[in-house]
């Protein structure tokens, strides 16, 4: 069978219970106008970097549970203890850089009076640009934007 020419074509060739079916029919391409929903999409896309979207869709419910339904105000208040709890949660992607990016982005979004407009601007840009700089040791001191040398 030839490779599908679009995501829609791919989805229609999957089983009805496939995670891509629900995503395609209820989320893919639909506008998002809620701050927390946009934040959720940003975090899920950051976590997808280097993985398949299928992996993220299979873990999506776990992500919502682990990140308090992506409530920006709550995520912005996460402590080191919560960070460590997320690092131990096998239901999500346990990457320290991605977890730190989610927490730091929540803080920056919460502190910005433009709210949803900032999130929409971020969502239109490459989400991986908002993950912390590459750091094999997961240093807790690297700024969210620009990596090691941006201070």
Residues with a catalytic annotation lie at 23, 45, 53
Residues 75/106, Cβ–Cβ less than 8 Å = yes
The 3-state DSSP class for residue 108 equals: helix
Among candidates 102, 101, 114, which has minimal Cα distance to 35? 114
CA distance 53 to 72: 23
Phi, psi (rounded to 5 degrees) for 43: -65, -40
Burial of 125 (0-12, 13-18, 19+ CB in 10 A): exposed
Among candidates 146, 97, 119, which has minimal Cα distance to 35? 119
The 3-state DSSP class for residue 68 equals: helix
List the structure tokens of 68. Answer: 């308090």
């Amino acid at each position: 069978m030839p490779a599908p020419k679009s995501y829609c074509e791919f989805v229609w060739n999957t089983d009805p219970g496939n995670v891509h079916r629900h995503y395609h029919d209820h989320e893919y391409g639909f506008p998002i106008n809620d701050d927390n929903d946009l934040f959720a999409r940003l975090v899920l896309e950051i976590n997808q970097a280097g993985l398949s979207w299928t992996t993220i869709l299979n873990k999506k419910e776990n992500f919502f549970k682990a990140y308090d339904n992506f409530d920006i105000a709550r995520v912005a208040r996460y402590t080191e203890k919560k960070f460590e709890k997320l690092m131990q949660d096998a239901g999500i992607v346990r990457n320290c850089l991605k977890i730190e990016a989610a927490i730091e982005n929540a803080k920056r979004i919460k502190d910005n009076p433009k709210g949803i407009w900032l999130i929409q601007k971020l969502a239109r840009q490459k989400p991986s640009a908002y993950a912390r700089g590459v750091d094999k040791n997961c240093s807790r001191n690297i700024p969210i934007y620009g990596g090691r040398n941006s201070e």
